[in-house]
Chain A
Amino acid sequence: MHRLTSVEELEKIRKITLEEKSKKSSCLTVCLGTGCQAYAGQRVYETLKKEITSHNLTAEIELKATGCRGFCEQGPILVLYPGEICYCRVQPENVPDIIKTTVIENRIIEDLLYQDPVTGQRFIKESEIPFYRNQSRIILGANRFINPQDLGDYLAQGGYRALAKTLEEMTPEQVIAEIEKANLRGRGGGGFPAGLKWETTRRAPAKKKYVIVNADEGDPGAYMDRSLLEGNPHLILEGLSIGAYAIGADEGFIYLRQEYPLPLENLSIAIKQAEEYGLLGTNILGTGFNFSVKIKRGAGAFVSGESSALMSAIEGKIGEPRPKHINTALSGINGKPSNLNNVETWANVPIIIEKGAEWYTHIGNATNKGTKIFSLVGKVNNTGLIEVPMGIPLKKIIFDLGGGIPGGKKFKAVQTGGPSGGCLPQHHLDTPVDFDHLHELGSMMGSGGMIVMDEETCMVDVAKYFMHFLKDESCGKCVSCREGTRKMYEILEAITLGQGKEEDIPLLEELAWVTSNTSLCALGRTASNPVLSTLKYFRDEYEAHIREKRCPAKVCKALIQYTIDQEKCNGCGRCRNLCPQKAIEGEKGSPLTINAQSCIRCGICREACRFEAVIVR
């Protein structure tokens, strides 16, 4: 392939690609994102390939491995076009039947269709499934048509059209004006206006400037960035290139979390392809614009996702935050003006440029435009990635898209904003999900983690969990952050062990105040949110632990006891065989008992019991 030297050449190759693809009468797509791979997705793909060949169907069917489609709970997902017939939880043994019945005989296999867990209704088309129907997938939507390792697929979806438009028709000022008009706010958590940040770096007096993608995705429980990078890497490269043109940068970096091997692979391939086609490098599309991109890997440090820390890491130093007397937008990598945005922020850019700010601002509410991708996980039926217009109520996300709480349990809280965020209770479920409303309630939009908790989640344990995370991840530079998080953790731990004292709650509040007001970076400044929000909305749980030495959710091991319901137990002995402590006593065939002395409350017996005879008190 020779380098594309003009926009006409780009359009020509797009036309050829589309013609090539239209020769095949149908397309079978299989999700091979990280989630579906964990469910034997790769073997499904290999079996499909074999079956298609053995039926001599290769000329008619395009088999395509796509990135994450979001509905990870139902993976591996397979969709056949035309018809958009969607099969869920496909296993390799289903493949011969799919080829024979659906591909050749054009009949549907009922058992493989998605079935609503509540109504029992089955759905044929992917877009009709309630999980998808309620979304606006303007960014994630393309994932389902794209093999991330094939630039042709991206071009067939209109890829690099926005870059071409930028380079041919727009001045850098016009690009920034469009982003400002779209009111694009940073998706990495802070919600800072991207246009304003770009403008600052653009105006900074320096020849050398950098643009950076923050793909550190440190929020545990969130994987939106992973799916975007892994499923549609060219989208991020295109957004970054447009930004580089507007800002006046000729070099870009992608700071990628080390725990993400598949995004690394797909992104590396995408960069190489873009370079070969002249979509990256010198004189891009013959317009005189030069821009190159390098990948830098993180190595498992949450704090390195903070802007100044991340830039130090890119320079090859330790990824620790520094005081930002001068903003990184003015003095970042090597002291040069550097513009950092989150993966999802960059992903919005080509769409805004192509469809226009006018179109874009119709999505969302007054001060929050566009969509947001959330990782809807935890105690919810439909776990996966969702993309919704900003301002949609929490309730709609959890109950309409998420399908509610599994096992008929009661909803307790939803955690957003990661370790800097908070937990919101039932009575705030009507809150519109956007940067401003969540902040008002003491939580945060964050980068998009949305963890649902039910009546069996202990809120003191959750606060302890986050404090454990933060005390480990604090870089230790600020005494208040290092010692504050550690002390708060110790107090929370004592409470969960039944050693809490009445004065612990005010002490926690005082420590929270000091930590948030005297720390350098946002890690310390927001570290208290998980404690403060649980104290605000779930104080009764703290009090039950402290005053009555009782864990209402029955989670804290020191405060619970396992026993066996003598009515329900038939003495089958399954739990006795599995108990690692040999704490279960009695004769086979008659109800068993648990020796409280040797029981370590690991819960294996409860998991093993088929008669729900093990109870926790």
Chain B
Amino acid sequence: MKEKELENIINKYRADPTEIMNMLLDIQEKEKFLPKTALSYLSGKLGLPLTRLYQMATFYEALSLTPSGRNQIHVCTGTACHVRGADGILNKLEQKLSIKPGQVTPDQKFSLKTVNCLGACALGPVLLVNGEYYGHMSALKIDSMLQRSSE
């Protein structure tokens, strides 16, 4: 990430250290993860210990220190989705992509994550693929979903 982009993000939040989470999320949105260099830069600029930034990056589920795939698949494993068979969908994806949640395929094409709830519970089981919601999913629909999202 370029220094200028980082400066823009810092300035957007008036270089206010209490806005650190908003800054981290903005960086992650751009880069799809939190690069080490960006964290060091933030730490220096805001006067926050680097350990604090790493603590945050590892505490929060949504922050990631490793790059994610070009296509991001989030499987909702919330209660509403669970009782409607989210496990079966997750298993199918694990098998299809040969990765576990939290991992990226070797070709960097897909990353797989679970999420506690996407707030679209009425449509369960739900997937979020590259920001798009897929409701009433079933294991049978996975193949066409993967094809569509990787086009």
- Check B92–A221 contact: CB distance below 8 A: no
- Check B83–A379 contact: CB distance below 8 A: yes
- Check B92–A457 contact: CB distance below 8 A: no
Chain B residues with CB under 8 A of A117: none
A218 in contact (CB, < 8 A):
yes
Cα A418 to Cα B80 in complex, Å, equals 10
Q: A34-B120, A296-B22, A469-B116 are in contact. Are A603 and B60 (CB under 8 A)?
A: no
- Check B92–A451 contact: CB distance below 8 A: no
Report A478 CB to chain B, min CB distance, Å: 16
Give the interface residue-count category, chain A. 35 or more
Q: Which of B3-11, B65-73, B104-112, B131-139 contacts A (4 or more CB under 8 A)?
A: B131-139
State which residues 102-151 of B face A: CB under 8 Å: 115-124, 126, 131-135, 138-140
Report A75 CB to chain B, min CB distance, Å: 8
Count of A-B residue pairs with CB < 8 Å? 155
Q: Which residue of B lies closest to A39 (CB)?
A: B135
Chain A residues with CB under 8 A of B91: 600, 602
Q: A415-B79, A449-B79, A607-B138 are in contact. Are A258 and B122 (CB under 8 A)?
A: no
- Check B83–A35 contact: CB distance below 8 A: no
- Check A453–B95 contact: CB distance below 8 A: no
Contact with B along A590-617 (1 / 0, CB 8 A): 0000000000101110011000000000
- Check A258–B83 contact: CB distance below 8 A: no
Cα A377 to Cα B80 in complex, Å, equals 6
- Check B17–A35 contact: CB distance below 8 A: no
State which residues 35-73 of A face B: CB under 8 Å: 35, 37-39, 72-73
Chain B residues with CB under 8 A of A219: 117
Q: Which of A177-185, A299-307, A352-360 contacts B (4 or more CB under 8 A)?
A: A299-307
Chain A residues with CB under 8 A of B122: 35, 72-73, 223, 375-377, 383-385
Q: Which residue of A lies closest to B61 (CB)?
A: A300
- Check A72–B123 contact: CB distance below 8 A: yes
A222 in contact (CB, < 8 A):
yes
Q: Which of A102-110, A194-202, A312-320 contacts B (4 or more CB under 8 A)?
A: A312-320
Chain B residues with CB under 8 A of A335: none
B38 in contact (CB, < 8 A):
no
B78 in contact (CB, < 8 A):
yes
Q: A316-B20, A453-B83 are in contact. Are A604 and B92 (CB under 8 A)?
A: yes
B99 in contact (CB, < 8 A):
no
Chain A residues with CB under 8 A of B22: 296-297
Q: Which residue of B lies closest to A469 (CB)?
A: B116
- Check A220–B140 contact: CB distance below 8 A: no
Cα A111 to Cα B85 in complex, Å, equals 30
State which residues 18-39 of B face A: CB under 8 Å: 18-22, 24-25
In-complex Cβ contact of A316 among B17, B84, B121 (8 A) = B17
Q: A259-B119, A302-B116 are in contact. Are A603 and B88 (CB under 8 A)?
A: yes
Q: Which residue of B lies closest to A450 (CB)?
A: B80
Report B49 CB to chain A, min CB distance, Å: 12
In-complex Cβ contact of B117 among A72, A220, A602, A604 (8 A) = A220
Contact with A along B29-64 (1 / 0, CB 8 A): 000000000000000000000001001100111110
In-complex Cβ contact of A222 among B59, B117, B126 (8 A) = B117
- Check B80–A603 contact: CB distance below 8 A: no
B100 in contact (CB, < 8 A):
no
Report B126 CB to chain A, min CB distance, Å: 8
- Check A602–B61 contact: CB distance below 8 A: no
Q: A299-B61, A301-B60, A316-B19 are in contact. Are A607 and B121 (CB under 8 A)?
A: no
Report B99 CB to chain A, min CB distance, Å: 15
Chain A residues with CB under 8 A of B85: 603
A217 in contact (CB, < 8 A):
yes
In-complex Cβ contact of A38 among B17, B79, B123 (8 A) = B123
Chain B residues with CB under 8 A of A602: 88, 91-92, 95, 139
Chain A residues with CB under 8 A of B124: 377-378, 383
- Check B118–A297 contact: CB distance below 8 A: no
In-complex Cβ contact of B80 among A298, A313, A378, A580 (8 A) = A378
- Check A37–B83 contact: CB distance below 8 A: no
Report A492 CB to chain B, min CB distance, Å: 14
- Check B21–A296 contact: CB distance below 8 A: yes
Report B95 CB to chain A, min CB distance, Å: 6
A537 in contact (CB, < 8 A):
no
- Check B123–A35 contact: CB distance below 8 A: yes
- Check B119–A260 contact: CB distance below 8 A: yes
Q: A222-B117, A301-B59 are in contact. Are A378 and B84 (CB under 8 A)?
A: yes
Chain A residues with CB under 8 A of B55: 318
Report A589 CB to chain B, min CB distance, Å: 23
- Check B83–A378 contact: CB distance below 8 A: yes
Report A453 CB to chain B, min CB distance, Å: 6
- Check B116–A218 contact: CB distance below 8 A: yes
Chain B residues with CB under 8 A of A379: 83-84
A507 in contact (CB, < 8 A):
no
In-complex Cβ contact of B18 among A257, A314, A385, A608 (8 A) = A314
Contact with B along A363-375 (1 / 0, CB 8 A): 0000000000001
- Check B79–A316 contact: CB distance below 8 A: no
Cα A317 to Cα B56 in complex, Å, equals 8
A538 in contact (CB, < 8 A):
no
A226 in contact (CB, < 8 A):
yes
Chain B residues with CB under 8 A of A316: 17-21
Cα A462 to Cα B81 in complex, Å, equals 12
Report A384 CB to chain B, min CB distance, Å: 5
Q: A314-B18, A377-B80, A451-B79 are in contact. Are A259 and B115 (CB under 8 A)?
A: yes
Report B21 CB to chain A, min CB distance, Å: 6
Cα A77 to Cα B118 in complex, Å, equals 20
Beyond the given pairs A223-B119, A258-B25, 15 more chain A to chain B contacts, judged by CB atoms under 8 angstroms and listed by A's residue number, are A38-B133, A73-B122, A220-B78, A220-B80, A220-B117, A222-B121, A223-B117, A259-B117, A296-B21, A300-B62, A301-B61, A315-B18, A316-B18, A415-B79, A604-B140
Give chain B's interface residues, CB within 8 Å of chain A. Answer: 17-22, 24-25, 52, 55-56, 59-63, 77-85, 88, 91-92, 95, 115-124, 126, 131-135, 138-140
**10 A–B contacts from the bound complex (CB under 8 Å):** A34-B133, A37-B133, A38-B123, A38-B134, A220-B78, A298-B21, A299-B25, A378-B83, A607-B138, A608-B140
What 7 pairs across the A-B complex have the smallest Cβ distances? A220-B78, A300-B61, A299-B60, A72-B122, A221-B79, A38-B133, A316-B18
